[in-house]
Amino acid sequence: MTSLSSPGSPRQIAEVVTRLLRIWSDTSASDKSVVQDWIRLFLDVPLASLFAAYEHFLRSDREFAPKPGQVLAKATTHAELIEMKRLAVEAALGNGAHA
Protein backbone atom coordinates (compact mmCIF):
# COMPACT_ATOMS: atom_id res chain seq x y z
CA MET A 1 0.00 0.00 0.00
CA THR A 2 1.35 3.39 -0.99
CA SER A 3 1.41 6.25 1.49
CA LEU A 4 -0.69 9.18 0.31
CA SER A 5 2.36 11.45 0.66
CA SER A 6 4.29 9.22 -1.76
CA PRO A 7 3.83 9.15 -5.52
CA GLY A 8 1.23 6.66 -6.67
CA SER A 9 1.94 3.53 -8.63
CA PRO A 10 1.12 3.60 -12.35
CA ARG A 11 -1.97 1.52 -11.58
CA GLN A 12 -3.20 3.93 -8.89
CA ILE A 13 -2.60 6.92 -11.15
CA ALA A 14 -4.40 5.21 -14.04
CA GLU A 15 -7.41 4.55 -11.81
CA VAL A 16 -7.71 8.22 -10.81
CA VAL A 17 -7.14 9.47 -14.36
CA THR A 18 -9.67 7.05 -15.85
CA ARG A 19 -12.27 8.12 -13.30
CA LEU A 20 -11.56 11.77 -14.03
CA LEU A 21 -11.91 11.32 -17.78
CA ARG A 22 -15.13 9.34 -17.42
CA ILE A 23 -16.82 12.21 -15.59
CA TRP A 24 -17.05 14.02 -18.90
CA SER A 25 -17.90 10.81 -20.84
CA ASP A 26 -14.66 11.20 -22.69
CA THR A 27 -14.09 8.21 -24.94
CA SER A 28 -10.36 8.68 -24.45
CA ALA A 29 -10.75 7.24 -20.94
CA SER A 30 -10.57 3.78 -22.46
CA ASP A 31 -7.59 4.64 -24.67
CA LYS A 32 -4.57 3.19 -22.90
CA SER A 33 -2.13 5.47 -24.69
CA VAL A 34 -3.97 8.56 -23.42
CA VAL A 35 -3.97 7.22 -19.86
CA GLN A 36 -0.26 6.37 -20.18
CA ASP A 37 0.46 9.97 -21.17
CA TRP A 38 -1.29 11.15 -18.01
CA ILE A 39 0.59 8.57 -15.90
CA ARG A 40 3.93 9.95 -17.07
CA LEU A 41 2.89 13.40 -15.86
CA PHE A 42 1.94 12.22 -12.38
CA LEU A 43 4.71 9.72 -11.55
CA ASP A 44 6.38 12.19 -9.14
CA VAL A 45 3.20 13.69 -7.67
CA PRO A 46 2.11 12.62 -4.19
CA LEU A 47 -1.00 10.45 -4.39
CA ALA A 48 -2.86 12.71 -1.94
CA SER A 49 -2.23 15.68 -4.23
CA LEU A 50 -3.50 13.78 -7.25
CA PHE A 51 -6.65 12.89 -5.31
CA ALA A 52 -7.03 16.55 -4.25
CA ALA A 53 -6.84 17.65 -7.89
CA TYR A 54 -9.34 14.94 -8.84
CA GLU A 55 -11.74 16.14 -6.13
CA HIS A 56 -11.33 19.75 -7.27
CA PHE A 57 -12.34 18.95 -10.83
CA LEU A 58 -15.01 16.49 -9.71
CA ARG A 59 -16.72 19.31 -7.80
CA SER A 60 -16.27 21.94 -10.50
CA ASP A 61 -19.02 23.03 -12.85
CA ARG A 62 -16.85 22.58 -15.93
CA GLU A 63 -18.47 21.42 -19.13
CA PHE A 64 -15.29 19.92 -20.54
CA ALA A 65 -12.60 17.67 -19.14
CA PRO A 66 -9.55 19.48 -17.77
CA LYS A 67 -6.33 19.27 -19.72
CA PRO A 68 -3.54 17.19 -18.19
CA GLY A 69 -1.52 20.34 -17.48
CA GLN A 70 -4.43 21.85 -15.53
CA VAL A 71 -4.70 18.78 -13.32
CA LEU A 72 -0.92 18.70 -12.87
CA ALA A 73 -0.89 22.39 -11.88
CA LYS A 74 -3.62 21.82 -9.28
CA ALA A 75 -1.85 18.71 -7.92
CA THR A 76 1.51 20.51 -7.80
CA THR A 77 0.03 23.48 -5.96
CA HIS A 78 -1.54 21.10 -3.43
CA ALA A 79 1.76 19.23 -2.95
CA GLU A 80 3.63 22.50 -2.39
CA LEU A 81 1.07 23.66 0.17
CA ILE A 82 1.28 20.38 2.08
CA GLU A 83 5.09 20.55 2.05
CA MET A 84 5.01 24.10 3.43
CA LYS A 85 2.66 22.99 6.20
CA ARG A 86 4.88 19.99 6.99
CA LEU A 87 7.93 22.24 7.29
CA ALA A 88 6.03 24.69 9.50
CA VAL A 89 4.95 21.90 11.85
CA GLU A 90 8.49 20.53 12.00
CA ALA A 91 9.86 24.01 12.72
CA ALA A 92 7.27 24.56 15.44
CA LEU A 93 8.03 21.21 17.03
CA GLY A 94 11.76 21.88 16.75
CA ASN A 95 11.38 25.31 18.35
CA GLY A 96 9.19 23.90 21.13
CA ALA A 97 11.78 21.24 21.96
CA HIS A 98 14.47 23.88 22.59
CA ALA A 99 12.36 26.04 24.89
**What is the 3-state secondary structure of 15-69?**
HHHHHHHHHCCCHHHHCHHHHHHHHHHHCCCEHHHHHHHHHHHHHCCCCCCCCHH
Global pTM reads 0.80
Mean pLDDT of 1-5: 61
How many alpha carbons lie under 13 Å from residue 33 in its C-beta half-sphere?
0
Nearby residues of 90 by Cβ (< 8 Å), 6 or more positions away: none
pLDDT band at 7 (very low <50, low <70, confident <90, very high): very high
Higher pLDDT, 63 or 76: 76
In a domain, 5, yes or no: no
Q: Is residue 1 part of a domain?
A: no
Per-residue pLDDT at 28: 56
Q: Is residue 36 part of a domain?
A: yes
Answer whether residue 4 is part of any domain. no
pLDDT for 65 equals 83
> Domain for residue 21, yes or no?
yes
Q: Could you read off the pLDDT of 76-96 as tens digits, one per residue?
A: 999 999 989 988 998 999 864
In a domain, 24, yes or no: yes
Q: Total domain count for the chain? A: 1
Question: 3-state DSSP call for residue 7?
Answer: strand
Compute φ and ψ for 7, nearest 5 degrees. Answer: -60, 150
**Residues 71, 20: contact at Cβ < 8 Å?**
yes
Range of the domain at 88: 10-98
Percent of the chain with pLDDT over 70: 85
Higher-pLDDT residue of 76 and 21 is 76
